Amino acid sequence: MAKILLEMKNITKTFPGVRALDNVNFKVEEGEIHALVGENGAGKSTLMNVLSGIYPYGTYEGDIIYDGEVCKFHTIKDSEKKGIVIIHQELALIPEMTIGENMYLGNEVGSKRNIDWDKTYAEADKYLKMVNLTESSRTKVKEIGTGKQQLVEIAKALSKHAKLLILDEPTSSLNEEDSQALLDMMLEFKKQGMTMIIITHKLNEVAYVADKITVLRDGATIETLDAHGPEKISEERIIKGMVGREMTNRFPKREGVKIGDIQLEVDHWTVQHPKYTERKVVDDVSIYVRKGEVVGIYGLMGAGRTELSMSIFGQSYGNLLNGTLKIDGKEIHLKKNDPADAIRHKIAYVTEDRKGNGLVLSQSIRVNTTLANLGGVSKHTVIDKDAEYAAAEDYRKKLKTKTPTVDQLVGNLSGGNQQKVLLAKWMFAEPDILILDEPTRGIDVGAKYEIYCIINDLAAAGKSVIMVSSELPEVIGMSDRIYIMNAGHIAGEMKASEATQENIMGLIIGRGQ
């Protein structure tokens, strides 16, 4: 048996009123990739924050034994000195600075008063090569994509001489291709003797890289599974540990839904990039949705899915060059850059970026729920606060949003509950056509299931649902029909019953050349 590099013993961490971690035990062997899984709020991030010194020694109970000695970290610097480096989920790079400046931020090369920039960039380039980045470290971070930014984060971690690398949801903002490259890189590092902890929601990634899997639930360790053990660990097996019950079907069945006439029809839709007008972000796309139908649009990041969706939604993205839009067979001309016009025509666009452009985090659930349909709770522009409260309360119950009151600020809710508020906002606008852009991004398995149930209810109520997603199992499991999008084009269309992950990816790769 290999040496135990890290052992966290009986860790208990309490916040006012909440016991976030309860006697957690966690062991990591040297040279392994250890996956830490659990639903949102299970305590994964808290545990890693305890380990890295963000919650300093003394604010928690229990011991951290690293490399044979008991450690008392007071700051992140203390843990980094020992070679424990954490890469957080949200990228923490400053876009206006160069890659090199970012990598050595707070860790500058040279003397205190005089930073040695030549050495900084030379060192930075060395580490960039290790993560297969060809960019110069003098490139500004804003000029490279998110995938590469994630690699810069890893290079930054390497530059701190990491022995134990912790990656918190490293692929949450990456497309499939970049995710794969990152996972392969992890396996490469493993060969070179690096120890890693990966926190992720994506169980296929766990299956791909992890040697051991520790499941956390409600702040307690449930079990540690050995991926190389005699018994093969299935995704269902892991999910069972995470949610505490058997989830035989991750995608609820939609039964007895009558699919009706074509409600929305988009033909030869071509959209120009708002700045680089020579680029056609959406190129000659023709799609349709029937009442009661859930249509999936699958594509890798950059395929033009979000751009297509936002363009249909009152041309709120880019310039429309060509194309017609029909609702119930009648041609409609939506005003440019006017979501209000789209809402009047009963179209809703539920954004993929709930924090960025979906919700007002500093306002309450009540205010957010009625945002797209304030007219529904007001008379002569005067808001009926009681009616508004009742509406918000109604959707809280319908969607099972977990909150003490609808006057709670949305910023204080978990990701899954925020997503429900976002859905509530658009359901309250009473649309006939819903475009759901990545409706389950960044939320845990249990909440995902609930969102799927809501989508099924919408379809059952005769709404036309377009579900944009970059998760293949989700697209296949939830759609009636699937469009595959690649590089602005529709690369193919198939019934969900005929779709497999292989033939969808085949279409994309075939077209991509």
Contacting positions for another protein (CB under 8 A): 313, 316, 339-340, 342-343, 349, 351, 356-363, 367, 371-372, 374-375, 378, 381-383, 385-386, 389-390, 404-405, 407, 425
Q: Could you give phi then psi for residue 446, rounded to 5 degrees?
A: -65, -45
Nearest distance in Å: CB 482, another protein: 26
* Tokens describing residue 492: 């193919």
Nearest distance in Å: CB 421, another protein: 11
Nearest distance in Å: CB 125, another protein: 36
Task: Considering the complex, state which of residue 120 and residue 173 has its C-beta at the smaller distance from another protein.
Answer: 173
Burial letters for 463-477: b for 16+ Cβ neighbours within 10 Å, e otherwise?
bbbbbbbbbbebbbb
Nearest distance in Å: CB 413, another protein: 15
Nearest distance in Å: CB 362, another protein: 5
Task: Considering the complex, state which of residue 213 and residue 343 has its C-beta at the smaller distance from another protein.
Answer: 343
Task: Considering the complex, state which of residue 43 and residue 339 has its C-beta at the smaller distance from another protein.
Answer: 339
User: Strand (E) positions, 164-227?
Assistant: 164-168, 195-199, 212-217, 220-226
- Order of strands, sheet of 61-66, starting from the edge strand that comes earlier in the sequence: 18-29, 4-15, 61-66, 69-71
Q: Is 486 exposed, middle or buried (0-12, 13-18, 19+ CB in 10 A)?
A: buried
Is residue 163 a contact partner of residue 194, using CB atoms and an 8 Å limit? yes
Half-sphere exposure of 250 (CA within 13 A, CB side): 18
Nearest distance in Å: CB 381, another protein: 5
Nearest distance in Å: CB 160, another protein: 32
Task: Considering the complex, state which of residue 110 and residue 375 has its C-beta at the smaller distance from another protein.
Answer: 375
Nearest distance in Å: CB 422, another protein: 9
Task: Considering the complex, state which of residue 216 and residue 410 has its C-beta at the smaller distance from another protein.
Answer: 410
Task: Considering the complex, state which of residue 6 and residue 372 has its C-beta at the smaller distance from another protein.
Answer: 372
Task: Considering the complex, state which of residue 58 and residue 404 has its C-beta at the smaller distance from another protein.
Answer: 404
Task: Considering the complex, state which of residue 73 and residue 389 has its C-beta at the smaller distance from another protein.
Answer: 389
Find all residues with CB under 8 Å of 506, minimum gap 6, and list them: none
List, as one string, the DSSP characters of 220-287. EEEEEEETTSSS---HHHHHHHHHSS--S-SS----SPPP-SEEEEEEEEEEE-SS-TT-EEEEEEEE
Task: Considering the complex, state which of residue 169 and residue 437 has its C-beta at the smaller distance from another protein.
Answer: 437
Nearest distance in Å: CB 177, another protein: 28
Task: Considering the complex, state which of residue 104 and residue 313 has its C-beta at the smaller distance from another protein.
Answer: 313
Q: Could you give phi then psi for residue 135, rounded to 5 degrees?
A: -65, 150
| 2: DSSP letter | P
Alpha carbon separation from 85 to 48, 166, 501 (Å, rounded):
10, 6, 35
User: Which residue do the tokens 């949305």 mark?
Assistant: 410
Half-sphere exposure of 414 (CA within 13 A, CB side): 18
Q: How far apart are CA 471 and CA 175, in angstroms?
A: 10
Q: How far apart are CA 5 and CA 82, in angstroms?
A: 12
Nearest distance in Å: CB 395, another protein: 15
Task: Considering the complex, state which of residue 70 and residue 360 has its C-beta at the smaller distance from another protein.
Answer: 360
Q: Could you give phi then psi for residue 99, rounded to 5 degrees?
A: -55, -45
Nearest to 48 by CA among 84, 99, 17, 18: 84
Q: How far apart are CA 511 and CA 191, in angstroms?
A: 35
Nearest distance in Å: CB 425, another protein: 7
